[in-house]
Structure 1
Amino acid sequence: MGSKPVLVVTADGLDTATLESALADTPASITYLSDLTDLFDTLTHSVFHALVLPETVDGQSGTDIAYGVRTLFPDLPVIIVGEDPEAVPDTLEVTAVEPSARLEDAVAEAVRDSLGAEPPTVAGRPPSPMETLLLSLFNELPDHLYAKDDQARHVLLGRGFNEPTDRLGLTDVEVPELAEEHARAALRDEMDVIEEETDRVEVEEFLDLDASYVRTRKMPWYDSTGDVQGIIGHTQDITDRKLREHAFRRQNERMVKVALVASHELRNELQIAYGRLEELADCDGPTADIAESLSQISAIIDTVVELSTSDPNGPVQHAEIEQVPKREHVWLSRLSREVWDTLADSEACLTFDGDTRIVADQESAGLLLQILFQNALEHAGPSVTVTVGLTADGFFVADDGPGIDVEPPERVFDAGHTAVAENTGFGLYVARRVAADQGWTVTAAESESGGARFDIGNVDCPE
């Protein structure tokens, strides 16, 4: 009778010498594994007929680990040592050996029973080139690769962002370091892919984890019959790219501000010139030439404003063609953080009271947030705390500054209204126009701390 390899993940509570003695009359050859992060590498590259897991190892549940193992090695017998059989779901199809004075004998009996069956079809044979290629991709790619089963539970993780076993058996809502709103949205996205309500998902997020900005793609994982049995995910750190975009945005914003302020001043002068021209209506002289020149100047101003405020990355548009905004799903926190990082220094603070995904043209929504953040920094000072939070039909931006000292508060949206001498007074006027283009509303009120608060309503926030 040939030797049948058994992999035992070691942990406190199991006496390995006693276990080997109890298995002395069986063909089992035991391999011990002390580093749980090597579990899938070991199972893939070697041949095993059974796996023994402890109830917990490195703070992780053996039952959760078994979810990943059973999905990738579906007929490999798994024995969980020291676990109450009632605590293991029947659908997992593993053997649980509850604690007892003769624990090693009970484990040996479970191993003996498993070795009497046919060898596993996957773990019981050498790996194929495709299996080793896939595992190498998961291990070596600096991005985060992962696979989840048909309940969106992690069954395999790469080493890009996490240890390859620290989320096994868990959905995103059960991972403690993930924000609750983001975890719930991720689970909804994944179930939509699994249930074939959508082909794939792609979303950018801001995270307070190893990477600040990430892009995640999720695609179906098909089995041999073509049915969806889970998802494959790819999360990429895009922080460096976002920081370059921030620098470009700051440069572009300075150019836009110069163009808008200059156009405002020039239009004021044009109004004066047109007024003087009307006074010359009854006079003899070349007034038609003057009117033509003023008209040309006005057209040039319009062109400068259009060019300075159009998308610099988009195609060149003719002035008479209306540009159609690109509306897409975007996390409110991610977009807010991107805009904030281009404006505020370390004294100011941005906080969040909830988070959601909104459907918006990112350029327009970013400009709206930029104006509201700038308004807070200018009126409340460089140490202001700005809060972005959720409302029943959208979101709000509030600060802890001196508030709105004008009645009624809606006057702050009037063109030219300003409480800061060097300002043009067009910021909040433009903000309301930008919001209206999205189909949104903007209203002014007092924040809980007595500062200014702007509520943006009628926003599409899909569940």
Structure 2
Amino acid sequence: MGSKPVLVVTTDGLDTVTLESALAGTQASITYLSDLTDLFDTLTYSAFHALVLPETADGQSGTDIAYGVRKLFPDLPVIVAGEDPAAVPDALDVTAVEPSAHLEDAVAAAVRDSLDAEPPAVAGRPPSPMETLLLSLFNELPDHLYAKDEQARHVLMGRGFNEPTDRLGLTDVEVPELADEHAKAALRDEMDVIEAETERIDVEEFLDLDATYVRTRKMPWYDAAGEIQGIVGHTQDITERRLREHAFRRQNERMVKVALVASHELRNELQIAYGRLEDLDDCDDTAAEIEESLSQISTIIDTVVELSTSDPNGPIQHDEIEQVPKQKHVWLSRLSREVWNTLAGSQASLTFDGDTRIVADQESTGLLLQILFQNALEHAGPSVTVTVGTTDDGFFVADDGPGIDVEPPERVFDAGHTAVAENTGFGLYVARRVAADQGWTLSMAESESGGARFDIGNVDCQE
């Protein structure tokens, strides 16, 4: 009779010499694995009849590791050495061996029981070319690939961003280093795919974890019967591109403000010129020529303002096609975090009162948030707390500053109005224009703490 290979992930808690002695006379042929990151490679490329995991390995729960293994090798017997059986979820089909003075003997007994069963269909045979191809893709692609099950728990991870085992068995909300609102949004996206509420997810987002910008795609993972059993995800680092876009957005905002300030001042001068022109004789040919020149200057000013506040990409060059903003589904918290990170110092803080997916042109909405955040930082100071929250028909941005003492409040949206001497007074004017371009409304009120609150309404939100 041939030997039956057994893979043992080693730690200091298991005496391998005693374990081998306890298995003497059986068909067990033990392979030891000290590097947990090689676990899935080893299980894929070699045949095994059983797997022994420690209670913890590299700071990770052996039960969580077993969770990922069982999803990809469903009939491979898994034994967790030194784990209280009561701590193992009922739905997880593994054998837990509680810690004792005779731990190795108890583990050996569990291994012997597993060897008496039929060899596992997947882990007990050499891999197919497709399996090795997919594993190579997970290991070698510089981006982050991962698979999650029907509960959105990690079962396989590539080497692109994380170690391939450090999140096994966990959903994103159970990963401590992820921001709470980011993790909740990610889990909700994934469950929408798993429950067939949406075909796939494609988002660009800022990761607070390591200050990178990523593009994430999530799509269904189908089993042999064509049923969805989880998701497959792909996350790509797009930091360099997003930083260029941020620089372009800031440059564009400066250009808009310069054009608006110039047009405002020129119109003031035009009013003076027109007033003086009325003192001249109406029949004077010179007066008529001056009036025509002033009219042309006014037209030029209108053109400059229109060009500076229109879409920088320009209109579509087909008469039969209307210009449509690049609208996508984006989580309000994700976009807010991304914009906030480019503006605020360490003293200021951003909090959230609810979250929602909005259908929006991401760049335009980013500019709108940038202006509102800047307004809070300028009026309330560097230690301001800004809250972004949801409403029945959109969202709001509020601060805990002194508020804006203006009567009527709508004056804050007038071109050139400012309470800060060095400001141009065109920020909120531009913000209202940006909101209106997407069919939204922008209004101001007092926040609960007495600061300023801006409500953005008529927004297409998806709860």
Pick the TM interval, shorter chain: 0.7 to 0.9
Aligned to 1:306: 306
Partner-residue secondary structure (3-state), 1:388:
strand
Paired residue type of 1:412: V
Distance 1:85 1:380 in 2: 56
Paired residue type of 1:31: T
Distance 2:211 2:136 in 1: 22
Q: Is the alpha carbon distance of 1:322 and 1:117 closer, same or farther for their aligned partners in structure 2, counting shifts above 3 Å?
A: closer
1:381-420 matches, cutoff 5 A:
383-393=382-392, 394-398=395-399, 400=401, 402-420=402-420
Paired residue type of 1:221: W
2:436 is equivalent to residue 439 of structure 1: no
Q: Is the alpha carbon distance of 1:116 and 1:222 closer, same or farther for their aligned partners in structure 2, counting shifts above 3 Å?
A: same
Aligned to 1:62: 62
Aligned to 1:17: 17
Q: Is the alpha carbon distance of 1:423 and 1:31 closer, same or farther for their aligned partners in structure 2, counting shifts above 3 Å?
A: closer
The two structures, once aligned, show a CA RMSD in angstroms of 3.0
Aligned to 1:236: 236
| Deviation, structure 1 residue 422 | 5.0
Q: Which runs of 5+ in 1 are unaligned?
A: none
Q: Is the alpha carbon distance of 1:104 and 1:426 closer, same or farther for their aligned partners in structure 2, counting shifts above 3 Å?
A: closer
Q: Is the alpha carbon distance of 1:26 and 1:77 closer, same or farther for their aligned partners in structure 2, counting shifts above 3 Å?
A: same
Aligned to 2:176: 176
Distance 2:289 2:318 in 1: 27
Aligned to 2:285: 285
Aligned to 1:76: 76
Paired residue type of 2:396: F
The 8 Å contact of residues 396 and 453 in structure 2, kept in 1 or not, is answered as no
| Deviation, structure 1 residue 277 | 5.2
Distance 2:99 2:136 in 1: 37
Paired residue type of 2:442: T
Partner-residue secondary structure (3-state), 1:91:
coil
Question: Between the two proteins, what is the percent identity of the paired residues?
Answer: 82
| Deviation, structure 1 residue 31 | 0.8
Aligned to 1:266: 266
Distance 1:193 1:391 in 2: 24
Give per-residue Cα distances to partners, 1:75-113, cap 9 Å, x unaligned.
111112223334333432222223344332222222112
Aligned to 2:131: 131
The 8 Å contact of residues 444 and 454 in structure 1, kept in 2 or not, is answered as yes
Distance 1:94 1:189 in 2: 30
Give per-residue Cα distances to partners, 1:22-54, cap 9 Å, x unaligned.
111111110111221111111112111110112
| Deviation, structure 1 residue 55 | 2.3
| Deviation, structure 1 residue 73 | 1.1
TM-score (norm 2): 0.88
| Deviation, structure 1 residue 198 | 1.3
Q: Which runs of 5+ in 2 are unaligned?
A: none
1:17-416 matches, cutoff 5 A:
17-276=17-276, 282-285=282-285, 291-313=291-313, 315-316=315-316, 323-340=323-340, 346=345, 349-354=348-353, 356=355, 357-380=357-380, 383-393=382-392, 394-398=395-399, 400=401, 402-416=402-416
Paired residue type of 1:70: R
| Deviation, structure 1 residue 254 | 2.5
Partner-residue secondary structure (3-state), 2:443:
strand
Give per-residue Cα distances to partners, 1:412-444, cap 9 Å, x unaligned.
334443223454433323433433444233213
Paired residue type of 2:79: I
Partner-residue secondary structure (3-state), 1:6:
strand
Q: Is the alpha carbon distance of 1:6 and 1:223 closer, same or farther for their aligned partners in structure 2, counting shifts above 3 Å?
A: same
The 8 Å contact of residues 220 and 231 in structure 2, kept in 1 or not, is answered as yes
The 8 Å contact of residues 144 and 236 in structure 2, kept in 1 or not, is answered as yes
Give per-residue Cα distances to partners, 1:306-329, cap 9 Å, x unaligned.
222233335556999974333322
| Deviation, structure 1 residue 224 | 2.3
Partner-residue secondary structure (3-state), 1:205:
strand
| Deviation, structure 1 residue 409 | 4.0
Distance 2:433 2:104 in 1: 74
Counting matched residue pairs gives 459
Worse overlay, 96-105 or 222-231: 96-105
Paired residue type of 1:231: I
Give per-residue Cα distances to partners, 1:134-157, cap 9 Å, x unaligned.
222212222211001122111001
The 8 Å contact of residues 55 and 63 in structure 1, kept in 2 or not, is answered as yes
Q: Is the alpha carbon distance of 1:100 and 1:341 closer, same or farther for their aligned partners in structure 2, counting shifts above 3 Å?
A: closer
Distance 2:149 2:343 in 1: 42
Distance 2:63 2:347 in 1: 46
The 8 Å contact of residues 404 and 446 in structure 1, kept in 2 or not, is answered as no
Give per-residue Cα distances to partners, 1:381-429, cap 9 Å, x unaligned.
6x453523325442223254x5424345443334443223454433323
Partner-residue secondary structure (3-state), 2:196:
coil
Paired residue type of 2:150: D
The 8 Å contact of residues 204 and 216 in structure 2, kept in 1 or not, is answered as yes
| Deviation, structure 1 residue 69 | 0.7
Distance 1:282 1:320 in 2: 46
| Deviation, structure 1 residue 167 | 0.8
Q: Is the alpha carbon distance of 1:25 and 1:347 closer, same or farther for their aligned partners in structure 2, counting shifts above 3 Å?
A: closer
| Deviation, structure 1 residue 236 | 1.4
Distance 1:292 1:72 in 2: 79
The 8 Å contact of residues 333 and 352 in structure 1, kept in 2 or not, is answered as no
Q: Is the alpha carbon distance of 1:411 and 1:303 closer, same or farther for their aligned partners in structure 2, counting shifts above 3 Å?
A: closer
Paired residue type of 1:359: V
Worse overlay, 24-33 or 356-365: 356-365
TM-score (norm 1): 0.88
Worse overlay, 320-329 or 207-216: 320-329
Partner-residue secondary structure (3-state), 1:216:
strand
Distance 1:75 1:137 in 2: 24
Distance 2:399 2:83 in 1: 51
